[in-house]
Amino acid sequence: MELLLILVMGLLYAGGVYFILRRSMVKLLLGIMLLGTATNILIFIVGGIVKAKPPIIDSMSEVLDKSYADPVPQALILTAIVISFGLTAFAIVLLKRVYALLETDDLDNLNTPEEDI
């Protein structure tokens, strides 16, 4: 399972870098989203994958003696998903506004001086 997640993470990083290097603003945003997803998977893998072991300590025991799922990486990932959703929504509105003004999504056309517009 971990090997599959590592391969998926590598593909997401590769796809994200590829999209970031394109000239389109939409592909840039897709690349940033792919990098964020790959980073969430990285945090999940580093946190350790434990199957069906909730992070609950029995009331009779004083020390947790078995392996358990660490809730901190999962909480970090959930927080990152919410923040990336807000960032993506803002970026989509911003890209729509730029496209409405300039009628292009090519990043090279955005670098022109104001006299040319």
Most trustworthy range by pLDDT among 48-52, 59-63, 90-94: 90-94
Domains of the chain: 2-51+67-116 (1.10.287.3510)
Q: Please name every residue paired with 24 in a beta bridge, in sequence order, or none if there are none.
A: 106
3, pLDDT greater than 70: yes
| Both structure tokens of 51 | 């199957």
Dihedral angle, C-alpha 46, 47, 51, 57, nearest 10 °: 160
Residue 10 confidence (pLDDT) = 97
Residue 112 confidence (pLDDT) = 65
13, pLDDT greater than 70: yes
Residue for token pair 């911003």: 94
- Model confidence, pTM: 0.81
